[in-house]
Chains A and B, each alone.
Chain A
């Protein structure tokens, strides 16, 4: 069930807006197999918007996204039914994704003791770990992680870094939007603010000036 041999994630002159506000423009990058990239930016700078545009959940304002390979997104929404015990909520996604050895995935993220706890009773960090378990089970070639470290304790943060390293070592792509540093060797990075539009609305290139 391994993804196609060479995943690609590429943004070309991407511009996204939220509401009427242009968040960033002329954002380009290309990630090939094994590449990891860290996106930084203040709250509201457009990290989540960028990730959602990259996976195709929203349409970018301008530019295009080239992607080849299965996509895995880790964001605010865990996709796990709040009423169900964790093991059953995860079992749905493991079944959909044909995940190999769900028990090992749960053990890896130290979720085994929580198997019978309804998802709504989990803490922020526990929910995040559950969402990570869903992501691993999916075996996607391209990982887009939105704040994967927030709410996690130090041990769990180390697990996330290790997961990303293993994912990239296996030829996968990881794009991580986070305020915290990750311990992944060779990881590129860019700040989304570098692509923010000029504050002056009467900019020479036009097009972004809202009347």
Chain B
């Protein structure tokens, strides 16, 4: 049942599967393309600040699909039907987390290559950027899932998600983008640790949230 669910979730969220799922990646590349036009073509400025911009773009790309992530399946009764078949909400959310990350994480990392070329990021900075995104995007996916589940039953949920994301994502951003400024690999250790903690926590938080959403 879990494999069938993962396949179904992936089909829902995978980019280029239709339904505007490719939007986060397009958004990500668009930011990288527009930034040089906004600040001017000074290669040094771009190289120094480009990494941070890529991080912010990744962060925002991770929250673009949030509205669809949980609320729609609650309205569909999808989770209810799975619950009746004995599947725990935590398991559903763990599967959803994997599908959500797979749908944007690897693609964003791949899109970092053209983005880095546009922003004149190379060498050690580029290596830290790619490693940082690999370590950080699971954490961003976990934050996204928690927020999506928490706000699913609220009317103005989408607006609230953006606000909730900022404080939650700050630590990952500070250490992830900070690693670039200091050329310091140990910051990535913090990013990895934060990501792992969030990934471990997210299915429980999100599972409890969709259970609570049933009660009103």
Contact = CB atoms under 8 A, between A and B. Distances in A.
A72 B216 CA distance: 22
A207 to B, nearest CB: 20
B18 A83 contact: yes
| Chain B at the A interface: SS class | helix
B19 interface: yes
A95 B214 contact: no
A87 B84 CA distance: 22
Of B18, B80, B82, most A-chain CB atoms within 10 Å: B80
Interface residues of A, number: 28
A77 B215 contact: no
Contact of B85 (A81, A83, A97): A97
A95 B78 contact: no
A58 B8 contact: no
Given A83-B18, A83-B19, A97-B85, A73 B80 contact: yes
Contacts of B85: 96-97, 138
14 contacts: A55-B84, A70-B84, A72-B84, A77-B75, A77-B80, A78-B77, A79-B80, A80-B76, A81-B76, A83-B12, A92-B4, A96-B4, A96-B5, A134-B81
Interface of A: 19, 52, 55-59, 70-73, 75-83, 92-93, 95-97, 134, 138, 140
* A-B interface, 7 closest residue pairs, ranked by CB to CB distance from nearest: A77-B77, A79-B81, A79-B78, A71-B84, A79-B77, A95-B4, A77-B76
